[in-house]
Amino acid sequence: NTPFLTVPPFILHVLLVILSRLLDCYCRHALVDLQINDIIDKETYESKFADLTASLTHVSDEKEKLKSIADNETSVKSRIETFRRFLEQNEVISEFDRNVFESIVEKVVVGGVDEDGNKDPYLLTFIYKNGSTDTLNGSNYKARRKNEKKCIGTQSEKLCPDTTNAVKELYPNHYDNEGGDKCSIGKKGKGEYVMNFRKDFIWGAATAAFQIEGAAYADGKGASVWDAFCEQPGKVFGGHDGLVACDHYNRYKEDVATMKEIGISAYRFSICWPRIMPHGMGRVNENGIKFYSDLIDELLKNNITPYVTLFHWDYPYELFCRGGWLNPDSPKWFGDYAEVCTKAFGDRVQNFITINEPQCFIGLGHRVGVHAPGIVYPLKDCLQMGHHVLMGHGLAVQAIRANAKNSSVGYAPTGSFYYPNTESQKDIEAAKKATFSVTTDRWFFSSAWWSDPVFLGKYPMPTGDEKDMDVFKTFIANVKESDMALIKQPLDYYGQNCYDTAPIEHQDNEPGYRASEFPIGHPKTAIGWPITPEGYYWMPKFLHERYKLPVLITESGMSSHDAVSPDGGVHDVTRIDYIRSHLQSLEKAAADGVDILGHFYWSLLDNFEWAKGYNDRFGLVYVDYATQKRTLKDSALWYKKLIAEFANNK
């Protein structure tokens, strides 16, 4: 690419490419700048618009067509987005606001006959709301998409033939197969894309106590294993700690006001065990009770439903000194704590989650040692700890049912999830088998190891190293029936935390599957996790088929390289695309019969990300840790629009 001309400082460089590729990075950045400023005076707009359109010297016919269309639009923003649409269809820019695009375009018809009379299955016909039309041949899309898989879903061959794959991701709402069925998901609302979920779909955001509260030793709070872990040199990135975090303990009213502004209907937060019971058992700290009681009241006052997680990793340090989860009394300790919480809050809270991600606090904390308490225990001890965790879960469910009337109860594991590399039945079965497999080396990240006892009443038998297999066999043989009866308490839904998945394909030899390689350059989040929205169709589908319960996404999100821009905003376009694409896959799962209750984005705020410290930002809201100033990111504003449009059209 070579620069075509010199432009004012507010625009980068105009790049000219051959015929099919009109402009590259210059227009992309200039137009993103225009998108950011929803309010822009007409004189400034006309100047920028003139500068940009002047660059299209080699496409005069298209430029005249564009100007004609733009002149018919009444608002400045619509004209800007019309121009962006033109550049997108010519592959000049790769990111754009689809919602605003859809406010201009009535629909996109796929397939037809080109100007030479040849059938072109990738031909796009844009039908605008003002009655005009535009066409684009599909050669560029065909080249871009030829190596990509078909649409996700068991009905994809019927509903989404190859002719629609080329534009399915870009235009998910308004397109038809020529003479065929609609392949879009969702429905058209008042200028926004409206997703087809159940009418009472939960639009939420989630946090955890240690990650946001701060006030580590204020008002009688006791120490947790994470307080102790952070004090050990080299354990947490940058020597970071949770002493202040997001100062939510002192700023909860401001944060609830932010939730209300975004429009979330539910807030999932955790209670800090040693804030309620400083020694882990015995004496109750009334200051801790008051803090969470005030937070719950503030949420209810703002019409936000509280979802309370009883345990999200901040185990009382004094109980750890007594053996922690390895102590045979540890299930009762947790049950007693659950009793205190549900008696204090059960009159106002109906939604409780017992335990968050045992895969991490047992596996990473006690088997690998990279999370608190940071000690590597023998396999047999870790299996016993995990068993005590699940028994504590059972006792907590009993406490919730006794003290919170009309309660809804779940728990929130994570795990390794897989999706089929192709839609062949063999690959689908291979992905399902891999998802629920248990191996002796990675047992602690297995979904089945932690969920089969809770929902099916038994532990699965793993495969792998013979020596370790003997340990598993001995453990399973010694599990009491009464323990399993306690663990298998009836739950109302399957809660699932999931951030990424991986492709799997069939192989003839054992174990019947193998990992498929990601292509070179596959997108990743800032923390290095692959972006795989495909898995958000298969993950809830596999869970629903195995455990026969509705599915609630209790955590989903991504870290991004967020920063406050000179205009004061945080323009996290990648996060918007992440949320959108994952929700669309959830929507497809719902269309195929999976009961999807809702979605909690992780996280409401940038926060302390455990061993990563403050190095990664997952939040919808940017936190300046030096000043504690909160700034809504573009993703929060987008999420707000999505939620509002859903509410207006349900």
Kindly list the catalytic residues: 357, 555
Is 570 exposed, middle or buried (CB count within 10 Å of its CB: 0-12, 13-18, 19+)?
buried
List of E strands, 492-595: 494-497, 502-506, 513-515, 551-556
Q: Are 459 and 479 in contact (CB under 8 A)?
A: yes
Of 314, 344, 338, 456, nearest to 397 by C-alpha is 338
Distances from the Cα of 125 to the Cαs of 51, 130, 170, in angstroms?
Answer: 28, 14, 14
- Give strand ranges (E) for 158-213: 175-177, 187-188, 193-194, 202-206
Q: Structure tokens of 40? A: 């822009």
Cβ burial, residue 568 (10 Å; 0-12/13-18/19+): exposed
Kindly compute the dihedral angle of the four CA atoms of residues 139, 145, 149, 154, in this order, to the nearest 10 degrees: -60
Taking the C-alpha atoms of residue 411 and residue 122, their distance in angstroms, rounded to an integer, is 46
Cβ contacts of 22 within 8 Å, gap of 6 or more: 16, 56, 58, 59, 87, 90, 91, 92
Query: Whose structure tokens read 């340990």?
Result: 471
The helix, strand and coil proportions of the chain, stated in percent and rounded to the nearest 5, come to: 45, 15, 40
Phi, psi of 423 (to 5 degrees): -95, 20
CA 90 to CA 108: how far, in whole Å?
A: 15
CA distance 449 to 307: 25
